[in-house]
């Protein structure tokens, strides 16, 4: 077992039995489920909307080589600049080049999982560039020195008391400050940063091919400030975020909002098509879009699993997953946690190191059920497991164990060769550790069903 897998098991056990963590997550997710149920009830034909979203994404992934150049040409036509980055190092290097060329010293960021993927804050800190998160949840976890806990709600694992304590320690606010007071304090601290920052960095929820635009959805307005106040705007976006037309936002914006937070539509929805034009008063002087691959084409090459790239990052599968609700987001050790993270991470960061995530599932299928673009997530997890075995990455003990199990299951004589006592001895000896020290091993009956049947009927076909 690799170190990442061992770390996952240790962290998962710790979180699963942390009662305070469980109480906070259950409380926050309970509010989410209530809101989403209310939001979904307002969609006239949910199943049809999901099917349409799935088909559009299918079309995009089958023709990504055509849509990406179309986006690039349309974006450049309005003065924007497109940069292609194959991996994390290339993306970091290109961003640093822009910063150094402009002489910038500070960066203000809106919420973006892709910037987490390329470790942007840490990278900029190494090069003496201040990088500040402006999304309130991201700002809180940055102050704590943590990573986002959830794709949509980065500070889901914290209670309002935890945040009040943090602000009291950092900024001297009252220890019993209300969420409203804490928000006002954050606004006061961040407002001047928008004016001072040399560069604004964002992600994008969608790349729009026919207009060469990016679409950004948010609830706080901070992304608009990040993308309009600074002189330079850099948007870092995974190549899979492509949609064919601006008209498709009519479907994807409400589906993203409803599945993400239960809203009909997020509060701020912005379409950006390049730097400030001659007849415009707002916007940056320069705008860059960095199109990031970083393993996405590896997944695209997998015909059966490229469906994982349809994801619109609503986070619904995380909130539905019984494993995620018990072990939490940080345990996955990847920016994309939960079921969808378990599908795409092994392809983006290496099957050998992250194959264990595909086993962090009960295969209940709830993730596939709630997905707004009908990704068969539980099927993708099984395919990942298959691929890890096919690539010879399964541990020797596991391979031998399954070989013995298969041999036994294919032959009734083999199954009944050992008595119930012997089977229980083998289980206690070889499987007790895998079963876990918090559970009792199941007891195998002394006689198998076939033996009992044979005794009762005196005959049993082989």
Please report, rounded to a whole number, the percentage of residues in the chain having pLDDT higher than 90. 81
Compute the average pLDDT of residues 256-270: 96
Per-residue confidence (pLDDT) for residue 52, from 0 to 100? 98
| pLDDT tens readout for residues 184-216 | 999 999 998 999 999 999 999 999 999 999 999
Give the pLDDT score at 232.
97
* Mean pLDDT, residues 366-386 taken together: 97
Closest CA to 289 of 239, 248, 228: 239
Tell me the percentage of the chain whose pLDDT exceeds 70.
99
Comparing 400 with 218, the larger pLDDT belongs to 218
Convert the pLDDT of each residue in 436-452 to its tens digit: 777 888 888 988 888 88
Higher pLDDT, 425 or 3: 425
Identify the band that residue 1 occupies on the pLDDT scale cut at 50, 70 and 90: very low
The confidence score (pLDDT) of residue 426 equals 83
304: buried, middle or exposed (CB in 10 Å: 19+, 13-18, 0-12)? exposed
Q: What is the mean pLDDT of the chain?
A: 93
DSSP lists the bridge partners of residue 199 as: 107, 232
pLDDT at 40 over 50: yes
Burial classification of residue 143, based on how many CB atoms lie within 10 Å of its CB (0-12 exposed, 13-18 middle, 19 or more buried):
middle
Q: How confident is the model at residue 459 (pLDDT cuts 50, 70, 90)?
A: low
CA gap 79, 102 in Å, rounded: 17
**Quick one: average pLDDT of 343-370?**
95
Question: Over the stretch 225-248, which tens digit does the pLDDT of each residue have?
Answer: 999 999 999 999 999 999 999 999
Residue 425 has pLDDT above 80, yes or no: yes
Q: 398 or 277, which is more confident?
A: 277
Q: Report residue 274 as tokens.
A: 């390049």
Domains of the chain plus CATH, in order, are 1-42+308-394 (1.10.1060), 46-143+194-294 (3.40.50.10420), 397-457 (no CATH)
- pLDDT above 90 for 251: yes
How far apart are the C-alpha atoms of 118 and 124, rounded to whole Å? 11
Q: Is the pLDDT of residue 47 over 50?
A: yes
**Average pLDDT rounded to a whole number, residues 43-50:** 96
What average pLDDT does range 66-88 have in this prediction? Answer: 98
> What is the C-alpha to C-alpha distance for residues 193 and 191, in angstroms, rounded to an integer?
5
Give the Cα separation of 328 and 11 in Å (integer): 9
Supply 372's token pair: 């707004």
């Amino acid at each position: 077992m690799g170190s990442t897998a061992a770390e996952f098991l240790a962290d998962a056990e710790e979180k699963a039995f942390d009662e305070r963590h469980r109480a906070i997550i259950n409380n926050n997710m309970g509010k989410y489920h209530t809101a989403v149920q209310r939001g979904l009830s307002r969609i006239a034909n949910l199943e049809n909307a999901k099917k349409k979203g799935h088909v559009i994404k299918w079309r995009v992934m089958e023709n990504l080589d055509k849509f990406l150049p179309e986006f690039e040409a349309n974006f450049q036509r309005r003065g924007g600049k497109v940069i292609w980055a194959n991996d994390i190092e290339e993306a970091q290097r290109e961003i640093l080049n822009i910063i150094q060329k402009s002489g910038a010293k500070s960066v203000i960021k809106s919420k973006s999982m892709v910037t987490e993927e390329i470790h942007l804050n840490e990278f900029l800190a190494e090069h003496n560039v201040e990088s500040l998160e402006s999304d309130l949840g991201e700002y809180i976890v940055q102050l704590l020195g943590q990573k986002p806990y959830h794709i949509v709600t980065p500070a889901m694992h914290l209670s309002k008391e935890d945040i009040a304590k943090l602000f009291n320690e950092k900024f001297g606010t009252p220890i019993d400050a209300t969420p409203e007071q804490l928000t006002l304090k954050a606004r006061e601290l961040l407002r001047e940063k928008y004016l001072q920052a040399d560069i604004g960095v964002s992600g994008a929820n969608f790349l729009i091919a026919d207009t060469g635009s990016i679409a950004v959805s948010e609830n706080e307005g901070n992304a608009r400030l990040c993308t309009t106040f600074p002189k330079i705007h850099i948007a870092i976006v995974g190549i899979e975020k492509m949609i064919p037309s601006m008209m498709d936002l009519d479907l994807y914006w409400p589906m993203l909002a409803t599945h993400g937070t239960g809203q009909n539509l997020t509060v701020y929805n912005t379409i950006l098509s390049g730097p400030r034009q001659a007849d415009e008063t707002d916007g940056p002087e320069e705008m860059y879009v960095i199109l990031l691959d970083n393993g996405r084409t590896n997944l695209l090459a997998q015909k059966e699993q490229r469906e994982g790239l349809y994801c619109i990052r609503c986070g619904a599968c995380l909130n539905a997953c019984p494993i995620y609700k018990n072990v939490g987001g940080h345990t996955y050790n990847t920016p994309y946690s939960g079921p969808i993270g378990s599908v795409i991470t092994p392809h983006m960061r290496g099957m050998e190191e992250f194959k264990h995530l595909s086993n962090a599932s009960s295969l209940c299928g709830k993730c596939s059920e709630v997905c707004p673009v009908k990704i068969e997530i539980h099927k993708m997890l099984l395919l990942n497991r298959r691929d890890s075995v096919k690539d010879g990455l399964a541990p020797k003990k596991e391979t031998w164990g399954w070989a013995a199990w298969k041999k036994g299951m294919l032959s009734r004589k083999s199954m009944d060769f050992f008595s119930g006592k012997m089977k229980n001895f083998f289980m206690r000896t070889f499987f007790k550790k895998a079963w876990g020290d918090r559970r009792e091993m199941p007891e195998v009956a002394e006689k198998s069903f076939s033996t009992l049947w044979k005794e009762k009927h005196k005959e049993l076909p082989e």
